[in-house]
Amino acid sequence: MRKRLLQLVHIGKSQLKMDDDTYRRLLSQQFYQNSAKNISYSDLLKLVKILQQKGAKIRLPQGSSPLSALQRKLWAVWKAVAEESSSMALNAYVRRYYTEVADWRELNDEQTASIIEQLKQWKKRLGK
């Protein structure tokens, strides 16, 4: 999904006829980065919304969830196990295992499966 969001950002940039300097200034002002590749998943969603507000005719396909089936499973297991079942809390949990990952939605499938298994073990220990 991250790849699709990056595509939408560049389509929106083209539709708005944004030159490179203006685009980089927008990224710098809003997200303190000079490339969309360096911003988090949630910030990419915000960037798509900003481009839409500026007039770009881009949108995510209807009916499709921004999360993969594996990511939805991770979220469901997290909500069943954690006392504080917020996205920020899950991010903190994930960072303990994958320090380079800023947002749990950016985990690849292998990493997501690993976190799910760890949460299942935690759930067993809690007796839930």
pLDDT in tens, 52-62: 999 999 876 65
Arithmetic mean of pLDDT over the chain: 87
pLDDT at position 44: 85
pTM: 0.54
81 has pLDDT over 70: yes
Arithmetic mean of pLDDT, 6-25: 92
Start-to-end CA span in the chain (Å): 32
CB atoms within 10 A of CB 65: 10
- Range with lowest mean pLDDT among 28-37, 79-88, 107-116: 79-88
Provide the residue ranges of all domains of the chain, joining segments of one domain with +.
Answer: 2-53, 69-126
Q: Are 85 and 91 in contact (CB under 8 A)?
A: no
